Amino acid sequence: MLQITFANIDDYVEVYIYDFPEFKSLREIENHLSKYPKLKLTFRYLNESNNLEEFLKVVNILVTHGVSLLPPNFCTPCEMARGLNWQEIYIRYSIPLILVFQNGKIMVIMISRYDKNTLEQALASFDNVTKIFLSNGSIEPLKEEAKARLEGLFENKIKSQTSSSHFLPIIIMAALVDAINPCEFFILIVFLSLVAMRLGREAVLKFGIAFSIAIFTAYFMMGLGVWRLIGYVREARLFVAILGLSLGLRSILNFIFGLFGLSIGFRETIGSILNRKFKRVPKFLSEKVTTLLRNFSNKPLSAFFIGTITSIFLLPCTSGPYLVALSLMANLETQIQGLLFLTLYNSIIITPFLIITVGIYLLKIKSGQLKRWFSKGQKWLNLISGLLILTLSVYLIFYALGEI
């Protein structure tokens, strides 16, 4: 097995793969290349019109400069006689098409070759000459004119090496917004109060930490799945940005209307129409959580279980900032950077839970005091979070449109 090395530890290597999502070849490529965290994998599904258009532009550049994309002894008139046009021919015989860039420079092109050995050979052969691994098994150099045109085509698509540091303050801001989670604060306070009454104050620390670790684990796993999904479906970023805008505006307007004793919340609006009062957490969910809180065992593992269930049930409370952050993480240079950012984000989220736990354990703060403090400060917390998520969503829209 060849050892893949790069010229510099800070090198940014991005791999573009053009193929159809249902093809076995794409899954094989992903399974193998995902083992290398320094690679930024970008999948271009050819059943999407914009990706197909980009693929054909690449094909046109290569063919124009004498690259033989079709198999040896290929009979183009024969294929056209069967009803295929030139685009369909190149789609059929030139995929998967793989382009490898290092720091914005194209280093390797692979045409309809995706076996493990060839992939490793291609990624280990970076030098001053761009190599083309053809479907017939041969390797040819890419002409400088074609290289310049391809790099020009992808110039605005490949992110700079500074993108991780560029995103860091934005990710931290989103995490701080997400950390303001009244739903989970309330459940933790009630839970730790029950622990203190039943098992004594000494047990509060263990149970509070177990609860916080559960929140971290559940959010991390859910975020990991959404992060990968957004990485594949880049158009989802605009949807997330619009969702964030609506949530941010709702929080800000609720604060303004709240000064006059009014609310524009969906829950309150429906309640006024039906002449009913709806709780922030649906009744069946609140009953489920209440049952869990009352029936916890004497082991901290029960706190982990309650924290996991709570995070799943109450994620909608503050899902907006998380989705915005995950949309930005999908553009990070490497998978390991994404995992580090995901770890940082969720560490910030659980910080208030740990502070509450320590406050009840060491400072002997009573749960009633915490509840009153959160009730008084909640509208201001909502205003701050609304302004921040609005700012993040506007940023994401401009970023998704390529303006930043």
Domain of residue 117, CATH code: 3.40.30
Do 31 and 178 reside in the same domain of the chain? no
Q: Is residue 5 part of a domain?
A: no
What is the predicted pLDDT for the residue at 7?
42
Residue count of the chain: 404
Confidence of residue 342 (pLDDT cuts 50, 70, 90): very high
Q: Does one domain contain both 277 and 206?
A: yes
CA gap 8, 199 in Å, rounded: 55
pLDDT digits (tens, 9 = 90+) for 376-398: 666 676 677 777 777 777 777 77
Query: If you average pLDDT over residues 233-258, what whole number do you get?
Result: 69
Among 103, 120, 153, residue at a domain's last position:
153
Distance of CA 177 to the CA centre of its chain: 17
Query: Domain for residue 141, yes or no?
Result: yes
Same domain, 220 and 302: yes
**Could you give the CA distance from residue 286 to residue 30 in angstroms, rounded to a whole number?**
42
Tokens coding 250 = 């709702």
Domain co-membership, 93 together with 193: no
Q: pLDDT class for 4, splitting at 50, 70, 90?
A: very low
Q: Is the same domain home to 200 and 347?
A: yes
pLDDT score for 366? 63
User: Domain boundary at 129, 153, 177, which?
Assistant: 153
Per-residue model confidence as pLDDT tens digits over 95-131: 889 999 887 789 899 988 777 788 888 888 777 788 9
pLDDT at 61: 92
Angle of the 319-329 helix axis to the 335-361 helix axis, nearest 10: 150
> 338 and 252 in one domain?
yes
CB of 186 closer than 8 Å to CB of 351: no
Say yes or no: 138 and 266 in one domain: no
For range 231-242, the mean pLDDT: 67
Digit-coded pLDDT (tens) for 39-73: 888 888 898 888 899 999 999 999 898 888 887 77
pLDDT at residue 278 tops 90: no
Q: Which of 21-30, 126-135, 139-148, 327-336 has the highest mean pLDDT?
A: 139-148
Residue 158 covered by a domain? no
pLDDT digits 0-9 by tens, 178-210: 887 766 777 777 778 878 777 777 788 888 899
Quick check: is 2 in a domain? no
pLDDT above 60 (res 6): no
> Is 173 found in the same domain as 146?
no
Is 214 buried (19+), middle (13-18) or exposed (0-12) by CB count in 10 A? buried
Into how many domains does the chain fold?
A: 2
Going by the DSSP 8-state scheme, the letter that residue 163 receives in this structure is H
97 and 218: one domain? no
Let me know whether 137 and 22 are in one domain. yes
Report yes or no on 230 lying in a domain.
yes
pTM of the model: 0.57
CA 228, 26, 47, 158 torsion: positive or negative? positive
Domain end position, chosen among 153, 182, 211: 153
Structural domain harbouring 207: 163-400
Whether the predicted pLDDT of 267 surpasses 70: no
Rg (CA), the chain: 27
Arithmetic mean of pLDDT, 356-372: 71
Residues 107, 60 share a domain: yes
- The pLDDT of residue 85 is 84
Tell me the two tokens of residue 315.
């994620």
Asked if residue 4 is part of any domain, the answer here is: no
- pLDDT band for position 233 (50/70/90)? low
**Alpha carbons 347 and 166: distance in angstroms, whole number:** 20
Q: Are residues 387 and 273 in the same domain?
A: yes
